[in-house]
């Protein structure tokens, strides 16, 4: 039982990180119809920004983390929107999808060539010390991840629902034409979404890299987890992405122990197939109708 | 407002369209539309499907670009203004269909109507005014707007538009999907607004009913204004009846027989 609880906590911690990536994924979809197949690489890359800042810039770890967030906002937020999404979205969703797949390959191989093909150890923000709570051993690192990830999610939810800018972003996501008619600066709201996505990716990267190491190819698994989490929860709901992320994280951890580590990566896919078969709008999603 | 407003002269137009051409992509819908919309009155735009009624509204409000021609409001040229600039000029647009944000509360929907307010400190009072005017909205203030009935949603849209105290309201098919009672209610709100000096430009599927409560009518066909007159005259115009029976206003000879 204690093992199970330990696994559960570890699963929720990983799941909370997946949720960060999945939330960004759904936000981009909602406000700009961008399905970002490079989302996994978006989570892989910021850790390398930090590593590069430490290796070549001699920056201390805390500064490297700030550099990573700043670079993410600039490259994964502003440049991604300005150089890829804006010019392509006019031509429909499909060219953009293909481009993000291309971008994912570019980022992956770019990191491999520019930094290293080896998995890189990444400094942990929290000490990896085990403490015992009610007979269950949990690591401080996991608790730290949980607190930060849920803290970020909480702040984001508060921002979207509790501030006027956040509600203007929601309005833009729900109906951009009407938002424009009411005078909402729609373009700016979309830019905010890209910045939020970049910040979430950077947070996820800094939290997950100490656990799974920073590797150029780690985006494949992360992207799949985020994608499945978003679909499972409901593609058009932030809270769906949170639920989906946690479900995928927990299942993933449980499967590694109770089924087989070899099948670990298959579990999210099985879940994906089941959801698409039986509840295509996702657990918390609403059905979406699109005008043709 | 200047004191020399001379309501009964045709020259007293709030909104003027001159030879406006616009459309979607390669398609031209408005094909040289010229019209004068009078201040403080209800003008109903009628015409067959595809005549360009909704296109005209979207073009005025800056959702579609004006290719050639000019639009003037209050003597100022507003051709190709953005929706935000139109709001700042005192115009609001209530488009066809459901335009509420279903997942936000009624109150937050109203609040979004005030995004363009120059003085944000007055927003709370204005929302309060709307709640007083439409008590049902106060009752449902914290409910998700998507849970309102169709009629209530339309009321919310109207209230959201009124929040800015507009001079000009463009209202596209407000009665679609509403019960007859609700249609009456929406119409009476519009009549009341016109009495208070708001200029209302209306598109209605139920042309007859709409013209009966309007001051003026504007018949649009193939992207051009064919008739501009008082609503009464248009109601009694034989050509209009013919138009709505499906035939165009072009001479009958144009529709040559097949053999």
- Tell me the per-residue pLDDT of A10-40, one tens digit each, with 9 for 90 and over: 999 999 999 999 999 999 998 888 899 999 9
Q: Measured between CB atoms, which of A164, A175, A181 is closest to B61?
A: A181
Three-state DSSP state, B132:
helix
Answer whether A174 sits within 8 Å of B101, measured CB to CB: yes
Q: Hey, is A222 helix, strand or coil?
A: helix
- Give A291 or A121, the one with higher predicted confidence: A121
Mean pLDDT, chain A, integer: 91
Cβ-proximal residues to A72 (8 Å cutoff; 6+ apart), any chain: A42, A45, A46, A49, A198, A199, A201, A202, A205
Model confidence at A65, pLDDT cuts 50, 70, 90, reads very high
Identify all chain A residues contacting B91, using CB atoms and an 8 Å cutoff: none
Mean pLDDT value of segment B215-237: 91
Quote the ipTM score.
0.85
Show which of residues 153-172 on chain A sit within 8 Å of chain B, judged by CB atoms: 164, 167-168, 170-171
pLDDT band at A259 (very low <50, low <70, confident <90, very high): confident
Helices (H), chain A: 2-32, 39-55, 61-72, 86-89, 93-114, 140-162, 164-174, 176-181, 186-212, 218-233, 238-254, 266-278
Among B60, B94, B96, B112, the residue to mutate for chain A (most A Cβ within 10 A): B112
Closest CA to B67 of B15, B13, B25: B25
Residues A248, A12: Cα–Cα separation, whole Å: 9
Task: Encode A192-209: b = buried (16+ Cβ within 10 Å), e = exposed.
Answer: bbbbbbbbbbbbbbbbbb
pLDDT in tens, B16-40: 999 999 999 889 999 999 999 999 9
Phi, psi of B258 (to 5 degrees): -65, -30
- The mean pLDDT of A48-71, rounded to a whole number, is 96
A15, A248 contact by CB (below 8 A): yes
Q: How far apart are CA B68 and CA B71, in angstroms?
A: 10
Partner residue opposite B112 with nearest CB, options A167, A177, A185: A167
Average pLDDT of the residues in A178-204: 96
For residue A171, which residues of chain B lie inside 8 Å, CB to CB?
Answer: 101, 104, 112
> Taking the domains of chain A in order of start, what are their residue ranges?
2-278
Q: Looking at domain A2-278, which of 1.20.58, 1.10.3470, 1.20.272, 1.10.3210 is its CATH number?
A: 1.10.3470
- A/B interface, count of CB pairs below 8 Å: 47
Q: Quick one: which of B42, B17, B22, B18 has its CA closest to B223? A: B22
Mutation pick from A163, A181, A236 vs chain B, by most beta carbons of B within 10 Å, is A181
Determine contact: B101 vs chain A, CB below 8 A: yes
Beta bridge partners of A136: A133
Number of H helices, E strands in chain B: 10, 10
pTM: 0.86
In tens, the pLDDT along B134-179 reads 999 999 999 999 999 999 999 999 999 999 999 999 999 998 888 8
Predicted confidence band at A290 (pLDDT cuts at 50, 70, 90)? low
Given A175, A180, A185, which is nearest B101 (Cβ)?
A175
């Amino acid at each position: 039982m204690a093992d199970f609880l330990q696994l559960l906590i570890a699963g929720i911690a990983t799941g909370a990180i997946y949720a960060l990536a999945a939330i960004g994924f759904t936000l981009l979809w909602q406000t700009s119809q961008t399905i970002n197949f490079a989302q996994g690489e978006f989570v892989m890359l910021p850790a390398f920004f930090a590593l590069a800042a430490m290796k070549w810039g001699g920056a201390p770890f805390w500064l490297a983390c700030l550099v990573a967030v700043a670079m993410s906002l600039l490259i994964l937020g502003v440049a991604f929107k300005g150089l890829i999404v804006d010019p392509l979205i006019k031509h429909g969703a499909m060219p953009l999808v293909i481009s993000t797949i291309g971008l994912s390959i570019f980022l992956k191989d770019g990191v491999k060539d520019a930094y290293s093909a080896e998995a890189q150890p990444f400094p942990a923000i929290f000490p990896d010390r085990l403490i015992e709570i009610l007979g269950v051993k949990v690591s401080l690192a996991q608790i730290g991840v949980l607190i930060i990830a849920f803290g970020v999610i909480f702040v984001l939810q508060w921002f979207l629902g509790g501030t006027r800018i956040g509600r203007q972003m929601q309005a833009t996501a729900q109906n951009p034409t009407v938002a424009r008619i009411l005078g909402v600066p729609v373009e700016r709201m979309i830019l905010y979404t890209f910045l939020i996505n970049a910040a979430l990716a950077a947070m996820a990267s800094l939290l997950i890299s100490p656990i799974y190491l920073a590797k150029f190819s780690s985006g494949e698994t992360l992207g799949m987890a985020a994608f499945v989490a978003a679909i499972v929860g409901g593609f058009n709901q932030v809270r769906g992405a949170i639920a989906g992320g946690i479900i995928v994280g927990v299942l993933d951890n449980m499967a590694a122990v109770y089924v087989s580590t070899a099948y670990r990566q298959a579990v999210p896919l099985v879940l994906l197939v089941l959801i698409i078969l039986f509840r295509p709008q996702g657990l918390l999603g609403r059905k979406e109708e699109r005008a043709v | 407002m200047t004191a020399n407003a001379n309501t009964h002269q045709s020259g007293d137009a709030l909104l003027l369209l001159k030879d406006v051409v616009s459309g979607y992509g390669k398609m031209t819908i408005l094909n040289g539309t010229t019209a004068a919309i009078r201040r403080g009155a209800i003008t109903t735009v009628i015409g067959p499907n595809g005549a360009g009624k909704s296109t005209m509204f979207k073009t005025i409000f800056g959702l579609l670009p004006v290719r050639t021609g000019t639009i003037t409001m209050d003597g100022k040229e507003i051709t190709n203004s953005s929706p935000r600039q139109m709001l700042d000029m005192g115009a609001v647009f209530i488009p066809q269909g459901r335009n509420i944000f279903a997942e936000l509360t009624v109150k937050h929907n109203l609040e979004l109507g005030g995004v363009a307010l120059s003085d944000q400190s007055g927003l709370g009072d204005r929302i309060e005014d709307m709640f007083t005017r439409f008590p049902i909205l106060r009752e449902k203030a914290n409910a998700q707007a998507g849970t309102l009935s169709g009629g209530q949603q339309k009321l919310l849209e109207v209230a959201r538009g009124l929040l800015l105290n507009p001079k000009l309201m463009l209202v596209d098919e407000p009665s679609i999907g509403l019960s007859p009672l609700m249609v009456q209610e929406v119409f009476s709100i519009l009549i009341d607004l016109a009495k208070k000096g708001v200029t209302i430009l209306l598109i209605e599927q139920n042309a007859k009913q709409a013209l009966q409560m309007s001051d003026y009518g504007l018949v649009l066909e193939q992207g051009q204004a064919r008739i501009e007159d008082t609503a009464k005259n248009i109601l009694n115009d034989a050509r209009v009846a013919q138009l709505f029976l499906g035939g165009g206003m072009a001479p009958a000879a144009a529709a040559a027989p097949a053999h």
